[in-house]
């Protein structure tokens, strides 16, 4: 397993060791002991999975305490552009974000800690996105920012006309109007 730090503290890219042969491949997507040896000691309590068509954009979301979540995200099938925005008020990188392409081909994972907004856009049809979280979902604790905030200017890798949103994601506030709970 290779762990790469990003420009945002605590936000990590994880590349599992993949064993390929004529039958296909095998890899450990998660091993608590190996993660702990690497300094990542997180008690994941729930696995989630979504299936989406190209252009689906989910985010940008976080949960506030006491239901704040750290997420370990990956793609099982297809390809996404994954985005994490630092919303920790005392962080020197507050309001900055990182993007990474996650795919079934590269098998990379993104560790998104508490204190980050998270979202992704599917770049292929029939994309299966999976993530582990260290806290349970609580609808009342959810916060977010609109995906197309002009101050953030995130390039999602899609034309705006391709974007498919849920009704709740269409009405999220701008970042400048967002009061971070972190």
Residue that is written with structure tokens 């252009």 in the block: 55
Q: Note if 61 is an active site residue.
A: yes
The single residue of 25, 61, 94, 97 carrying the catalytic annotation is: 61
The single residue of 108, 131, 136, 137 carrying the catalytic annotation is: 131
Instruction: Please state, in angstroms and as integers, the Cα–Cα distance from residue 22 to each residue in 7, 25, 103, 138, following that order.
Output: 38, 8, 21, 44
Q: Note if 136 is an active site residue.
A: no
How is residue 9 annotated by DSSP? T
Q: For residues 72 and 108, is the Cβ–Cβ distance under 8 A? A: no
How is residue 173 annotated by DSSP? P
Q: Which residues pair with 48 in a beta bridge?
A: 131
d(CA 133, CA 19): 26
Q: Where in the sequence numbering do the catalytic residues fall?
A: 61, 131
């Amino acid at each position: 397993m290779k762990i790469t730090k990003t420009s945002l503290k605590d936000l990590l890219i994880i590349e599992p060791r993949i064993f390929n042969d004529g039958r296909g491949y095998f890899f450990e997507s998660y091993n608590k002991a190996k993660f702990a040896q690497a300094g990542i000691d997180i008690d994941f309590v729930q696995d989630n999975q979504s299936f989406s068509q190209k252009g689906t954009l989910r985010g940008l979301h976080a949960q506030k305490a006491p239901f704040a979540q750290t997420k370990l995200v990956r793609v099982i099938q297809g390809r996404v552009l994954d985005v994490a925005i630092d919303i920790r008020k005392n962080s020197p990188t507050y309001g900055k974000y990182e993007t990474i392409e996650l795919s079934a081909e590269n098998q990379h994972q993104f560790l998104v800690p508490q204190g980050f907004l998270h979202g992704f856009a599917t770049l292929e049809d029939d994309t299966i996105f999976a993530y582990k979280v260290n806290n349970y979902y609580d609808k009342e604790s959810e916060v977010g920012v609109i995906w197309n905030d002009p101050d953030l200017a995130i390039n999602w890798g899609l034309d705006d006309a391709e974007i498919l949103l849920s009704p709740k994601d269409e009405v999220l506030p701008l970042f400048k109007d967002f009061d971070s709970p972190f």
